[in-house]
Amino acid sequence: MMYTTIRGMLSLTLSVSMLPLFGSTPAIGVIVADGSFRVDHSLIWDNATLFAGNLVETGQSSTQLQLRNGSHVRLASDTRARVFDSRLVLERGIGQLESSNYRIEAGGLQISSETKAGVARVQVTDSSRVIVAAYQGGVRVVNRDNVLVAALEPGNELAFEPQPASTSVTKVSGCLTEAGGKFILADRTTGVREELRGSGIEKEVGNQVEVTGTADTAAPSAPGTSQIVYVDSVKRIAKGGCASAAAAGAGLSSAAIVAIVGGVAVTGSLVGLAVVHALPGQSQSQPATSR
């Protein structure tokens, strides 16, 4: 009887002492798959509870992350990502974000949907190039300094390659306009608007131009612009053609044109990530959570 009492007291003491440990790392959601996957290098089948900082690696099957905040993320086959309560850090493969209150980080970029029903797809290639597609709704891409690098419209996709951290060179192209005494260029590759400063800019207002300059870390004063660019050179691409919104930078340009915004090189992509109905290892149906 004494042995039983002591054992019961030890069990109670151990349980109480472990409460703070479990309480400090609450579950953030669950992961579900039609097959196996790894969490922190441990092989798991069907489903598992997720905690902040877990490393998820998919194999032949895709997985779906169902987070407590209501966010949903799908990971294609052969994908590796680290999961947190407000973000997923994609290290390899393809992730699909199906919520507006969550984000995917990849290559120093932060990708988020602009609408509640928006769907963003992100791929990290073997060369560490990041491809972002707006599958449904608009998608925003910002850099580490929270500078807007691209604003994608539904059905569009872009490829991103971070430049050396020391570079502040910006190269953008599009229509040059003037509003409220400010010169603004709507980049036709990224959909981003830049505030331009420098001499001789006024001569090209209303024309389609290519601008090279130096980005400033100060916040721009022109509404709707992402950063200030001090212009080094302006090259006219075409005279006029900026009367309509479509000509003023909406939509994507040829993949041959490269924009450099916020320390990131941006080009059109031909991967087709924005138009495929199902990603590698993924189907349209949702995997069922086993209980």
- For range 154-160, the mean pLDDT: 94
Higher pLDDT, 192 or 285: 192
What fold characterizes domain 27-161? Jelly Rolls (2.60.120)
- Class of 169-262 in CATH: mainly beta
Domain boundaries, the chain: 27-161, 169-262
Task: Categorize the per-residue pLDDT at 133 as very low, low, confident or very high, splitting at 50, 70 and 90.
Answer: very high
Those residues with Cβ within 8 angstroms of residue 178's Cβ, 6 or more apart along the chain or in another chain: 184, 202, 205
235-251: average pLDDT = 66
Q: Which of 71-75, 134-138, 143-147, 239-243 has the lowest mean pLDDT?
A: 239-243
Per-residue pLDDT tens digits for 32-83: 998 999 999 999 999 999 999 999 999 998 999 999 999 999 999 999 999 9
